[in-house]
């Protein structure tokens, strides 16, 4: 897929996601209820990271970064759960942490709905609106272009 093709497709997917979000009752988005879901997710991420992390826990880009997680305790190159980023041995780059910080904001917006909406968006990051919104280049899903941050 060319740079132009995935960017065009990404814009369409984001527009579809925005249209879908208008159907979600406002009391569920960026609300005390969604904040509760975010705090719940952060507690789950913190517990999971505390159980499995063998590395130093750092605070970077507004995230608690749990390094040294064994393979199989997180998805892909790492996973954001609330305000926690769970990853392997390698130190994540600033670009990856920018990407994950967007996921943290998504948790704040959607709260308890986030896992369901993310699952419904699918496993293909090039078609998943949450990965697209977080930045496919920063997330290392597509090659970085000169116009990227």
- Cβ–Cβ < 8 Å for 73, 48: yes
**In total, how many domains does the chain have?**
1
For residue 19, tell me if it sits in a domain.
no
For residue 97, tell me if it sits in a domain.
yes
Can you give the pTM of this predicted structure? 0.94
Which of 9, 26, 31, 44 lies closest to 108 in space, CA to CA? 31
Residue 102's contacts (CB-CB under 8 Å, 6 or more residues apart) are 133, 134, 135
What are the phi and psi torsion angles at 143 (to 5°)? -65, 145
Three-state SS for 8-28 is: HHHHHHHHHHHHHHCCCCHHH
For residue 17, tell me if it sits in a domain.
no
For residue 38, tell me if it sits in a domain.
yes
pLDDT tens across 47-86, in order? 999 999 999 899 999 999 999 999 999 998 999 999 999 9
For residue 4, tell me if it sits in a domain.
no
Structural domain range at position 33: 28-123
pLDDT tens across 5-50, in order? 899 999 999 999 999 999 999 999 999 999 999 999 999 999 999 9
For residue 78, tell me if it sits in a domain.
yes
If 0-12 CB within 10 Å is exposed, 13-18 middle and 19+ buried, where does residue 98 land? middle
For residue 50, tell me if it sits in a domain.
yes
Per-residue model confidence (pLDDT) at position 144: 85
pLDDT tens across 82-113, in order? 999 999 999 999 999 999 999 999 999 999 99
For residue 112, tell me if it sits in a domain.
yes
């Amino acid at each position: 897929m060319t740079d132009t093709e995935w960017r065009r497709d990404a814009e369409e997917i984001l527009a579809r996601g925005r249209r879908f979000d208008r159907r979600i009752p406002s009391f569920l988005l960026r609300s005390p209820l969604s904040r509760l879901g975010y705090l719940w997710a952060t507690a789950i991420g913190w517990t999971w990271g505390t159980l499995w992390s063998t590395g130093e826990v750092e605070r970077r880009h507004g995230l608690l970064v749990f390094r040294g997680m064994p393979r199989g305790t997180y998805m892909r190159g790492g996973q954001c759960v609330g305000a926690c980023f769970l990853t392997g041995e390698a130190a994540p780059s600033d670009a990856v942490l920018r990407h994950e910080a967007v996921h943290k904001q998504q948790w704040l917006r959607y709260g308890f709905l986030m896992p369901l909406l993310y699952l419904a968006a699918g496993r293909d990051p090039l078609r998943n609106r949450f990965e697209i919104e977080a930045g496919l280049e920063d997330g290392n899903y597509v090659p970085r272009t000169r116009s990227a941050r």
